[in-house]
Structure 1
Amino acid sequence: MNLGTYNVRTLNSEAALSFLFDELRNIKIDIVAVCETRRKKEMSVKWNDGSEVMLGAAKNGVGGVGFIVLPSVTSRIISMEIVSH
């Protein structure tokens, strides 16, 4: 299992998420912790390919953290909670 971190600077659009997924597949990262997502609302969805996207909300457009987990390891997740201050 490969883990990584990434300062994404923003994940406010579906296009930005798609680009990130392409990059993760190329570098073979199974779980990536992302920061500076700048999302207005929390997001927890299963992506088209089975990946799990769990992103917390930023405060006043600043910050925001989350995880993106590729399908190869999603079945191993028991629980998850985003805490972003």
Structure 2
Amino acid sequence: MAKATVTFEDIGVTVTVPAGTRMIEISEKVGAGIVYGCREGDCGTCLMVVTTGADDLSEPSVLEDKILREIMAGKNNRLACQAQVLGGEISVRPA
């Protein structure tokens, strides 16, 4: 199975994870500062900045693309609840 290396710049932690894992799941497990309000109906709070390896994440879904446009996110922003790792090396930080 393909693996990816993910670095959370805000806490200086790097982990290796299986491809297909959502970024929010990884963030929760390592205690990174990417917060989320999905369960409270506050979509868009898990916004993160991808500083390295954007091509190693899944393409934004129609829903993610819609939300990113609504909140006027930058081109290096993704929603951690939607972005899945594909492989390679990825670095992120909270937006």
> TM-score when scaled to structure 2?
0.28
Higher relative contact order (CA 8 A, sep 6+): 2
Higher helix share: 2
